[in-house]
Amino acid sequence: MKPLHEPLFGVPASAGATLPPKSGERAGRGVVIAIDGASASGKSTNARIVARALGFIHVDTGAMYRTLAWYCLKKGVDVHDAKAVAALCSQWNATLDCVDNAVRLLVDGCYPAREIRTVQVSEATPLVAAVPKVRQWMKETQRQCLQFGSLVMEGRDIGTHVFPGAQFKFYLDASLSERAKRRAAEGIRENIAARDERDIRRAAAPLQIAPDAIVINNSQLTSAQTSAQILARVRKEPAPV
């Protein structure tokens, strides 16, 4: 994997970090651990565990897309209308915040934590996330998260689109049946196969495995076992001299 420029490996997440260049090929003075994967592949749980273990900042990019989907529904914007969604995204009052080593996307200064987890928002999010101008806005915003420190960033296009030069790239996978079981256990109704199809086939930043990513199939693994594999790989990397 491509090393980041002057990584802050081993430095607490509270240390300052410069914003990344627009190319995204280098992440400035900060380590980026990219964790990608499809729905219910364990991205969120393992990203939180890894971030906590390393003292890094956790970034749930899916929550950012959910926030925009929620805002579209709140404003009465048809999430099937790509132009209307893009127009709203270009003018909404959204800002980044970091609380307890986790980045949140605020809207008008507030974070709709509960609201973005409803069934309606879950159904609207894939439609919003497929809009090219939305993905461009999110990419630029997600790169700005380095202002808070070294990152563990989870999503579907982090290692391929947002931070293609990330020092550590992981792709989590699991069988369709296992992922469906996990969603059901969370009380979430989601057609996993249909979501996979939409994510893979969308024109803007589709779900792909980065050529240099380490793939972990965690169908038979616990979160502790999965995160242990990620941490072992990260800790094996020598700190810069």
pTM: 0.83
Are 71 and 92 in contact, with CB atoms under 8 Å apart?
Answer: yes
Nearest to 68 by CA among 7, 2, 126: 126
Q: Give Cα 30 distance to the centre of its chain.
A: 17
Nearest to 1 by CA among 239, 146, 213: 213
Cα distance between residue 87 and residue 113, in whole Å: 24
Q: What is the DSSP string of 193-235?
A: HHHHHHHHH-SSS-----TTPEEEE-TT--HHHHHHHHHHHHH
Q: How many CB atoms lie within 10 A of CB 80?
A: 10
pLDDT at 29: 63
3-class secondary structure, 99: strand
pLDDT at 20: 36
Task: Spell out, as residue ranges, where the chain has pLDDT lower than 70.
Answer: 1-29, 238-241
pLDDT at 89: 97
pLDDT tens digits, one per residue of 49-71: 999 999 999 999 999 999 999 99
Cα distance between residue 162 and residue 148, in whole Å: 16
Kindly list the structural domains of the chain, giving each domain's residue range(s) and its CATH number in brackets, ordered by start: 32-236 (3.40.50.300)
pLDDT at 233: 94
Token pair in block for residue 66: 């959910």
